[in-house]
C-alpha cells in the first residue's frame, strides 16, 4: 500500500489547536492548589481537558450524549496516574471508578502488560469515530494521546518537518543517531489497520527525538509498536 503523509501545515495547525484547548481547560480547573491529592480535583482537570481537546478536533467524534471520565489513582514520581473511560453524561460513575484498575497508557505498555488493556475497546475506543483519511487517523491518534495524557506526552511535541528537526537537533548538546529523509507523519493503510510513523520530541529527563510506530486497529484501539531513536539531546524537564 502507498505511504501517505500529513502535511507540515496540518501538523502545526493541530498543535496550536491542542495548546489552545489545554489553556481553555486549565482556565476551568477548580480553584485549588495543584499539589492537591484529592481525586476529584485531578479527575475534573483531566475531564475538562479531554472535552476541550475533542471539541477542537473536527475529524474525531465521540458518540453524542457520552463524555470522557477519569479515575485518579495517585502519583508515581512526577506522573499522575489516571485511567480514562467513556460514560453517558447522565451516569453516576463514582461506583465504577472504584472497580477499574490502573494500567499504563498505550505508549508505555510493554507487550507483557497489553492483556491488562483488553477492556479499553469496550470502555473507551468503541465510543469514537474518525475520518479514515491520513489526517483523520493522525488526529485520532493525537486525540487518544491527549485523552490518556501521560506526563511524557504532555511534554512532547510532534515534529512537523525536517526543518523543525534540524532546528532542534542543531543546538549544542545534541547527537544524531539515525538521519531521516522525511519527518511528516506517515500513514499506511492495510487490511483494516492503519500504521503510523510519527517523529516526536520528548523533553522529559534527557531530551530525545524518536520515531514512534503506532497501529490503529479496526476496533479503534491504539497499539504502540516501537520507538526508534533519532537524536539525543541535553537534559530536559525533571518531574
Q: What span, in angstroms and rounded, lies between the C-alpha atoms of 164 and 185? A: 13
Q: pLDDT tens-digit profile of 36-58?
A: 678 999 999 999 999 999 999 99
Q: Is residue 237 pLDDT above 80, yes or no? A: no
- Looking at per-residue confidence, does 206 or 109 come out higher? 206
User: How much is the mean pLDDT over the chain?
Assistant: 90
At 28 the pLDDT is: 63
- The grid coordinates of residue 110 equal 510493554
Q: Which residues of 74-83 are buried (b: 16+ CB within 10 A; e: fewer)?
A: eeeeebbbbb
Average pLDDT of 145-160? 93
pTM of the model: 0.92
Does position 118 have pLDDT exceeding 80, yes or no?
no
- Model confidence over 66-106: pLDDT tens digits? 999 999 999 887 788 999 999 999 999 999 999 999 988 88
pLDDT for residue 191: 87
CA distances from residue 152 to 42, 79, 107 in whole angstroms, order as listed: 17, 8, 9
Residue 41 CA to residue 37 CA, distance in Å, equals: 8
pLDDT tens for residues 168-187? 998 888 999 888 999 999 99
Q: Please determine, for residue 113, whether its predicted confidence score (pLDDT) is greater than 60.
A: no
Q: 191: domain range?
A: 4-235
pLDDT score at 166: 94
Percent of the chain with pLDDT over 90: 72
| Count of domains observed in the chain | 1
Q: How far, in Å, are 5, 36, 109 from residue 196 at the CA level?
A: 10, 37, 17
> Which residue matches cell numbers 482537570?
45
Please say if the pLDDT value at position 109 is more than 60.
no
Answer for the pair 29, 45: CB distance below 8 angstroms, yes or no. Answer: yes
Amino acid at each position: 500500500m502507498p505511504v501517505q503523509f500529513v502535511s507540515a501545515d496540518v501538523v502545526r495547525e493541530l498543535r496550536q489547536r491542542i495548546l489552545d484547548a489545554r489553556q481553555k481547560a486549565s482556565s476551568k480547573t477548580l480553584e485549588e492548589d495543584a499539589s492537591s491529592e484529592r481525586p476529584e480535583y485531578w479527575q475534573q482537570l483531566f475531564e475538562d481537558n479531554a472535552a476541550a481537546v475533542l471539541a477542537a478536533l473536527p475529524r474525531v467524534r465521540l458518540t453524542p450524549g457520552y463524555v470522557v471520565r477519569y479515575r485518579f489513582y495517585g502519583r508515581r514520581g512526577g506522573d499522575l496516574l489516571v485511567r480514562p473511560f467513556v460514560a453517558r453524561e447522565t451516569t453516576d460513575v463514582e461506583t465504577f471508578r472504584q472497580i477499574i484498575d490502573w494500567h499504563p497508557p498505550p505508549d508505555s505498555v510493554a507487550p507483557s502488560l497489553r492483556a491488562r488493556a483488553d477492556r479499553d475497546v469496550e470502555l473507551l475506543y468503541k465510543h469514537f469515530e474518525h475520518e479514515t483519511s491520513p489526517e483523520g487517523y493522525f488526529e485520532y491518534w493525537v486525540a487518544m494521546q491527549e485523552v490518556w495524557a501521560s506526563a511524557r506526552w504532555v511534554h512532547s511535541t510532534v515534529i512537523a518537518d525536517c526543518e523543525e528537526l534540524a532546528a532542534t537537533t542543531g543546538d549544542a548538546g545534541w547527537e544524531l543517531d539515525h538521519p531521516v529523509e522525511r519527518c511528516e507523519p506517515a500513514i499506511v493503510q492495510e487490511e483494516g489497520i492503519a500504521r503510523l510513523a510519527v517523529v516526536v520530541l520528548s523533553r522529559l529527563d534527557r531530551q530525545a527525538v524518536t520515531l514512534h510506530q503506532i497501529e490503529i486497529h479496526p476496533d479503534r484501539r491504539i497499539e504502540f509498536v516501537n520507538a526508534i531513536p533519532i537524536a539525543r539531546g541535553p537534559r530536559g524537564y525533571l518531574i
